[in-house]
Amino acid sequence: MLLSFRNNPEISEEALSGVLRDIEQASAALYSMTGRIGQYLRENEWLMSIKQRTGIPGGACEFDLPSYHYWLHRPAEERIGQLAAWTSPLYPLRDGTAIILRILRESGKPQSLAAPLGTFQQMLGGKTAQMLRVRLEPGLPCVPEISANKYVLNIRFLAQNGEETRAKTADWDVGFELTFCNL
């Protein structure tokens, strides 16, 4: 699909070539993966014992998993090295997913909008999106809560107050940026 954008005057050849190169590298890495994804982790008895015990309330206590607690007290460099060894075979999946998400995130045109008293509603009228991006100013003390179906998009901005345990809808007009993303 992206190859069809070559020689298009509205598309940067340099950016397109970079994306195509990234996709080819990620694809080659994915095709070079052998066996079932993560099988080596499932075959690690020590990791599986931790996984089984953490599903039980209080199951990861020192007396239930002494080897895990011993490992937790090993030097950070040693633990980081082991974590890297366990996760590095999964890097091709991470890299491929990152490319797709980057392309998807950059596919839309952002709109500056406002949510009066912390609530925003938009009828979709047949508009579809594979991903929505909501961007707020970094210092804004609220978090978006999004719900949508094929007809309507609702965003409620919940005010974050360190004193109250229960978040409530912001009582001010919240400016934000909304992007509908599609490949």
Q: Tell me the pLDDT band of 162, cut-offs 50, 70 and 90.
A: low
Alpha-carbon span 183 to 170, nearest angstrom: 33
Residue with tokens 């995130």: 105
The average pLDDT across 63-85 equals 93
Give residue 53's pLDDT.
Answer: 87
- The per-residue pLDDT for range 111-159, each reduced to its tens digit, is 999 999 999 999 998 888 889 999 999 989 999 999 999 899 999 999 9
- Environment class of 115 (CB within 10 Å of its CB; exposed 0-12, middle 13-18, buried 19+): buried
DSSP string of the chain, one letter each residue: -GGGGTT-TTS-HHHHHHHHHHHHHHHHHHHH--SSTTHHHHT-HHHHHHHHHHTSTTTTSTTT-HHHHHHHTS-HHHHHHHHHHHHGGGHHHHHHHHHHHHHHHTTS--EEEEEGGGEEEEE-TT---SEEEEE--TT--EEEEEEE-SSEEEEEEEE--TT-SS-EE-SS-EEEEEEEE--
Reply yes or no on whether the pLDDT at 163 is more than 70.
no
Written as six digits, the tokens of 84 are 């890297």
Tell me whether strands 174-181 and 152-159 are parallel, antiparallel or unpaired.
Answer: unpaired
Note the CATH architecture for domain 108-181. Sandwich (2.60)
Residue with tokens 């003390």: 141
Reply yes or no on whether the pLDDT at 176 is more than 90.
yes
Reply yes or no on whether the pLDDT at 86 is more than 70.
yes
In the chain, where the domains are located = 108-181
Under a CB-based contact definition with an 8 Å cutoff, are residues 176 and 113 in contact? yes
